Structure 1
Amino acid sequence: MASLTCLRPTHPHLHRGSVLLAISNRCFNHSSLLNWILSVNPPRTAPPRAMAKPCSSPAQDLVASPGDFEFVLPLKIVEYPDPRLRARNKRIVAFDDSLKKLVHEMFDVMYKTDGIGLSAPQLGINVQLMVFNPVGEHGEGEEIVLVNPRVSQYSKKLTLFNEGCLSFPGINADVKRPESVKIDARDINGTRFSVNLSDLPARIFQHEFDHLQGILFFERMTEEVLDSICGQLQALETKYEGMTGLPSPEKIENRRRRKVAVGFGKR
């Protein structure tokens, strides 16, 4: 599993064709989502912990400008260790046609790459935007759009899940995260809302939310798991250097012993 573009259907519950949603709305409708996503089973919550440094308060966020929504088609997945995956992502304040066009293209890329979730920085666009559809099929399930999301609560109970990420092709590994979260966000029209997410939607959200904070999924892994994929991460670093002619902006060997990313879901 990976980001909401990131997330690939690698888990048995994510196999293509499985119907996890019966809602037909194509745009994110938070009222129908509230009825579906475990509102009958709200998360057991703990007081929110301090987020990782990349996460700032809305008052401190940089604001996206019209130029931040300019892009050239076709959009392509940005792979580790591209520095755009670590760049600060700007808060969206204009809910206009440019945003809707970007959302449309993000879903298009997500489906074409067999993803179930995708964040804007994974396409090299550094704004606080994610899209996902747990079913992973165009025309099935519900397409969810979250703008400027924030975590207000998360469960103490953690669950282990095998995740993958479109920005880390061919790499899958176990990541432990809170079983449920409560989030505050805006929809594609700018309407504020809060919702409880559990199980797969919560997992997808957390993976994509990490992308918006400049956190990558291997930073949530145990040292043992990280050791098991170290060679694959180094191969991506070498690939980046070969494609760009530049030294890798980060090296897993320099990071692997650092403390895991701080924030909700801290192990």
Structure 2
Amino acid sequence: MASAKFLRSSHLHIHGGFTSALPAIPPFSHNRLTSLDQVYFSTNWSLPPLCAVSKIGFSATKDEAASSGDIEFEAPLKIVQYPDPKLRAKNKRIVSFDDNLKSLAREMFDVMYKEQKMLLEHQSQPQKSTTSIRTDGIGLSAPQVGINVQLMVFNPVGEPGEGEEIVLVNPRVSKYSKKLSIFNEGCLSFPGIYADVKRPESVKIDARDVNGNRFSFSLDGLPARVFQHEFDHLQGILFFERMTEEVLGNIREQLQALEMKYEQLTGEPSPEKIQNRRERRNAVGFGKS
């Protein structure tokens, strides 16, 4: 194993195998969130070539800023399921880095871990999957709990006290790799649905931490996959929009079942219908969907 050393967050790279090679960081509390500049990594890892792109996301000053009321919440938070319109709403830029934001991040982790535990106890991954690793329950975006702000949390291990708990505020993508890979994704907002999605293997990200500090870092492998899935949520993009028409056809009935469930629970018509979605060529990479 290559030697590891301590670096500033501006030089941070996190790789797909980091959870087994890195020292564990203690889980954070309401008063202290783990900062990405505390993460160690192997200096011998390398990333695939990255494509430069315009910075994408909701971090520009022209985007609407979130008020303190936009981040207020009552515990326990609940997962918002497709086709709830909150999954499509504009997510506001966070400008207040206070204890309420830290509490929200902590509560999101708690919900994520709870959902992951329930999934492991009551469901099994489809055998046709291209991988045996679940992606639902290891990442969560704020709109998935009904709060439309630019916040995401994830831990590729999916277990409290293990792996790295990562909090990203107002993230943007500055580069992504030309090399693409297919991975069988799931999503807490689409319970029981798994399908193959093609995405870039690595990304370079600009973001803020829960204290408002700016930093840049790179991800590849599973962490990059989880980030891209959650980043899409912050832009109102759902993972089935990244699927080919053939793959989408395999889950169409499951999506329609969620639409019917929404109508039965709310007494209102579904805000969107998968049957009305026009067939098109799906593209991968940021800004192409």
Q: Same fold (TM over 0.5)?
A: yes
Distance 2:55 2:150 in 1: 19
Equivalent residue letter for 1:40: W
Task: Establish whether residue 242 from structure 1 lines up as the match of residue 248 from structure 2.
Answer: no
SS in 2 for 1:36: strand
Corresponding residue number in structure 2 for 1:48: 53
Distance 1:211 1:190 in 2: 21
- Does the Cα contact within 8 Å between 1:147 and 1:188 map onto a contact in 2? yes
Aligned counterparts of 1:77 and 1:180: Cα–Cα separation in 2:
28
- Residues 2-55 of structure 1: CA distance to partner in whole angstroms, max 9, x if unpaired? xxxxxxxxxxx99xxx8575422433322243x43888313411121685xxx5
Structure 2 counterpart of 1:31, which letter? D
**1:37/1:198 contact within 8 Å kept:** no
Which residues of 2 match residues 53-92 of structure 1 at below 5 A? 55-56=57-58, 58-92=60-94
SS in 2 for 1:161: strand
Q: Distance in 1 between matches of 2:96 and 2:154?
A: 21
Question: What is the rounded CA distance, in whole Å, between the counterparts of 2:55 and 2:101 in structure 1?
Answer: 30
Paired position in structure 2 for 1:148:
170
Amino acid at match of 1:72: E
Match of 1:30 in 2: 36
1:108 to 2:114 alignment: no
Secondary structure in 1 aligned to 2:102?
A: helix
| Partner of residue 8, structure 1 | none
Q: 1:194-213 alignment to 2 at 5 Å?
A: 194-213=216-235
| Identity percentage of aligned residues | 68
The answer for the alignment partner of 1:4 in structure 2 is none
Structure 1 residues not aligned, in runs of 5+: 1-12
Count matched residues.
248
Query: Matches of 1:265 and 1:180 in 2, distance apart?
Result: 16
Query: Does structure 2 retain, via aligned residues, the 8 Å contact 1:43–1:182?
Result: no
Change (3 A) 1:96 1:265: same
Per-residue Cα deviation, 1:36-76 (whole angstroms, up to 9, x for no partner): 3888313411121685xxx5561221100011012222210
Distance 1:21 1:266, change over 3 A: farther
Match of 2:151? Answer: 129
Say which structure, 1 or 2, has more relative contact order (CA 8 Å, 6+ apart).
1
Letter in 2 for 1:145: V
Alignment partners' CA distance in 2, 1:104 and 1:50: 28
CA contact (8 A) 2:54 2:174 kept: no
Structure 2: runs of 5+ lacking an equivalent? 1-15, 28-32, 117-136
Output the CA distance in 2 between the equivalents of 1:74 and 1:136.
Answer: 19
Whether the aligned pair in 2 keeps the contact of 1:50 and 1:263 (CA below 8 Å) is no
AA in 2 matched with 1:167: S
| TM-score, reference length from structure 1 | 0.86
For 1:184-228, what per-residue CA distance to the aligned partner results, in whole angstroms no more than 9, with x for missing partners?
000111110000100010000000000000000000000100000
SS of match in other structure, 1:242: helix
What TM-score, normalized by structure 2, do the two folds share? 0.80
SS of the residue 2:169 aligns to = strand
Give the secondary structure class of the aligned counterpart of 1:205. helix
> What's the CA shift for 1:141?
1.1
**What is the RMSD of the two structures over their aligned residues, measured on CA atoms?**
2.3
Structure possessing the higher radius of gyration over alpha carbons:
2
How big is each residue's C-alpha offset from its partner over 1:93-146, in whole Å with a ceiling of 9 and x where there is no partner? 110011011011100000000011000000000000000111110111111000
Contact 2:193 2:251 in 1 (8 A): yes
Change (3 A) 1:118 1:69: same
Partner residue of 2:160? 138
Among 232, 243, 246, the residue aligned to 2:254 = 232
**Most deviating of 87-96 and 248-257:** 248-257
Distance in structure 2 (CA, Å) of the matches to 1:174 and 1:38 = 31
The answer to whether the Cα contact below 8 Å between 1:158 and 1:265 also exists between their aligned partners in 2 is: no
